[in-house]
Amino acid sequence: MDFGLHGKVALVAAASQGLGRASAAALAREGARVAILSRRPKELEETARQIGAELAVACDLGQKESIAAAATLVREQLGPVSILVNNCGGPPAGTFDTLTEEQWYGSFEQVFLSALRLTRAVLPDMRAARWGRIINIVSTSVQQPIPGLLISNAFRPALAGWAKTLANELAPDNILVNCVAPGRILTARAETLDRAAAEREGKTIEEIRAERAATIPLRRQGDPDEFGRVVAFVASEAASYLTGSLIRVDGGAVTSL
């Protein structure tokens, strides 16, 4: 299937590793001109080389000025952005008693405001072209809270609510807004959480992963490339009647309808 993405400029946030990297790689394979953002310059350059991204831009998603500068550079180097993938690193794990107010404020900037700021930066060009895709990588926590991830359980649903309303506002301009929610995907973030759980519960990381896999109908965790291919589809011409939707990539783990 031709996804119709050849030559379109795609901007993917937090793409030096994990789900952002997988999304950027899938878009690049479909012929998009991909720019990737990360606050890790060294890893970012290597990722760009490996996946065929045309531009790597150092950017701190928690800083308004950094986002504005990055978006301007992408436009100057590659042209108007047609596809935006809003993504960020996972917020700190913890409970109400262990998380500080500073962590809440920092996570709000990173998880929620970064998506709003990047969207504001690219929206004028999407409106001018009357074509755009805004894809928000959220989490299955938007539908089923995850124990120990209190901040994610609070801010990811807020982002999904914003995206649903934005989809209605931008539909007349042919700009589609959707969320893609990963479940258990084998990323560095998942490994960090698994190691923490193993230490906390006095188990091996293999035991923790086996327990996690047993809760998934497919009886395994996902591969990042599987997730990236879904993002590429949502960005494509094949998904031209898809907006305001939440697509779960979780192996069937979420129990709600």
pLDDT tens digits for range 49-100: 999 999 999 999 999 999 999 999 999 999 999 999 999 988 888 999 999 9
pLDDT in tens, 110-138: 999 999 999 999 999 999 999 999 999 99
Rg (CA), the chain: 18
pLDDT tier, 190 (very low <50, low <70, confident <90, very high otherwise) = confident
More confident call, 236 vs 215? 236
Per-residue pLDDT of 1-31, as tens digits, reads: 789 999 999 999 999 999 999 999 999 999 9
pLDDT of residue 257: 82
Q: What is the pLDDT of residue 251?
A: 95
pLDDT single digits (tens) 192-232 = 878 888 888 888 888 888 888 898 999 999 999 999 999 99
- Under the banding of pLDDT at 50, 70 and 90, the label for residue 238 is very high
- Grade residue 178 by pLDDT with cuts at 50, 70 and 90: very high
Q: Is 90 exceeded by the pLDDT of residue 166? A: yes
pLDDT at 188 over 90: no
Determine the average pLDDT of the residues in 146-173. Answer: 96
Q: Which CATH class is domain 9-185+222-249?
A: alpha beta
pLDDT at position 64? 95
- φ/ψ region of 88 (left if φ > 0, alpha if ψ in -120 to 50, else beta) reads beta
Average pLDDT over residues 23-40: 96
For the chain, the DSSP string reads: ---S-TT-EEEESS-SSHHHHHHHHHHHHTT-EEEEEES-HHHHHHHHHHHT-SEEEE--TT-HHHHHHHHHHHHHHH-S--EEEE--PPPPPB-TTT--HHHHHHHIIIIIIHHHHHHHHHHHHHHHHT-EEEEEE--GGGTS--TTBHHHHHHHHHHHHHHHHHHHHHGGGTEEEEEEEE-SB-SHHHHHHHHHHHHHHT--HHHHHHHHHHTSTTSSPBPHHHHHHHHHHHHSGGGTT--S-EEEESTT-----
pLDDT at 135: 98
Degrees (nearest 5) of the Cα angle 91, 14, 97? 5
- Other CB atoms within 10 A of residue 64 CB: 13
User: With bands split at pLDDT 50, 70 and 90, how would you rate the model's confidence at 240?
Assistant: very high
Are 150 and 95 a contacting pair, CB within 8 Å? yes
